[in-house]
Amino acid sequence: MNELIKRAAKDLAAAGNVVALTGAGISIESGIPPFRGKGGLWERFDPMEYAHIDALMRDPAKVWKVLVKEMKEIVDQAEPNDGHKGLAKLEARDKLKTIITQNVDGLHQAAGSTDVIEYHGTFAWQRCMDCGKKYENREVDLSEIPPRCNCGGILRPDAVFFGEMIPQDAMWRSRQAASDCDLMLVVGTSAVVQPAALMPVYAKESGAKVVEINPEKTPLTREISDYLIMGAGGDVMNRIILELELKTDNI
């Protein structure tokens, strides 16, 4: 693993335009449960009943009482971990340009990253269903469920529900970022869900290196990734940053 850490630090140092693609794996260390898979939220909640746009439109109070309240509590309590912080440090060093994330927890922004494309929106903000005004979670008064905007409209998470389209600007910007980068860091995602799955492909097709950080092999590993650093996002990012700092000191 040490050799791969050194290799990643060297590749990062040489790269001029780095983009990261992240998924549920990077937030597990922050206590955010994944939606899919074992232990995921969809094992406890039927997404069609609580996370489909039709369910939200039909009965916002029901969706709020179960899914949104739980997600809001999880997101409000979660702190960014070393994986998020490491990517924010790379941005602060002008090494990382953009993060494309499938997560809805807002933890990249909480860690200090400023250019984050959120495919599925965020549960860290709520949006008025009538006037579109956005509220940070802490501004939302939960004494009445569903909570309401100043205009009287019902608030909903600023997230993409099942049955809703991924915002066009997120699609367009992420495709552009993936095609323009010369190194893509894939952290905590097997990138099997579209459209995230296409991003490493766009990067690869444009001649970029794809460096994968995941706890185990994924479908990307053999086909797309230049190499896989197997481990937890936080630990691997810490070691890469350390190596990168040693490198910079030597120059």
Known catalytic residues are 120
Cβ distance to Zn ion smaller for residue 79 or 136: 136
Cβ distance to Zn ion smaller for residue 13 or 151: 151
Cα 228 from Cα 210, distance rounded (Å): 9
**In the complex, what is the shortest distance from the CB of residue 134 to Zn ion, in angstroms, rounded to a whole number?**
10
**In the complex, what is the shortest distance from the CB of residue 130 to Zn ion, in angstroms, rounded to a whole number?**
5
**In the complex, what is the shortest distance from the CB of residue 147 to Zn ion, in angstroms, rounded to a whole number?**
11
For the chain, what is the HEC assignment? CHHHHHHHHHHHHHCCCEEEEECHHHHHCCCCCCCCCCCCHHHHCCHHHHCEHHHHHHCHHHHHHHHHHHHHHHHHHCCCCHHHHHHHHHHHCCCEEEEEECCCCCHHHHHCCCCEEECCEEEEEEEECCCCCEEEHHHCCCCCCCCECCCCCEEEEEECCECCCCCHHHHHHHHHHHHHCCEEEEECCCCCCCCCCHHHHHHHHCCCEEEEEECCCCHHHHHCCCEEEECCHHHHHHHHHHHHHHHHHHC
Residue 140 engages Zn ion in binding (rule: CB under 5 A): no
Provide the pairing of β-strand 121-128 with 96-101: unpaired
**In the complex, what is the shortest distance from the CB of residue 158 to Zn ion, in angstroms, rounded to a whole number?**
13
Cβ distance to Zn ion smaller for residue 36 or 134: 134
Q: Among 63, 71, 149, 237, which residue sits at the site for Zn ion (rule: CB under 5 A)?
A: 149
**In the complex, what is the shortest distance from the CB of residue 63 to Zn ion, in angstroms, rounded to a whole number?**
18
Q: Among 33, 112, 153, 215, which residue sits at the site for Zn ion (rule: CB under 5 A)?
A: 153
Pick out residues in 118-137 that bind Zn ion (CB under 5 A): 128, 130-131, 133
Q: By CB under 5 A, which span of 41-49, 63-71, 146-154, 167-175 interacts with Zn ion?
A: 146-154
At 194, which amino acid appears?
A: Q
Cβ distance to Zn ion smaller for residue 130 or 139: 130
Record the tokens describing residue 121, joined without a space.
Answer: 């929106």
Q: Among 14, 61, 92, 151, which residue sits at the site for Zn ion (rule: CB under 5 A)?
A: 151
Q: Which string of x and - marks every residue 187-206 that binds Zn ion (by CB under 5 A)?
A: --------------------
Cβ distance to Zn ion smaller for residue 58 or 133: 133
Interaction site with Zn ion (CB under 5 A): 128, 130-131, 133, 149, 151, 153
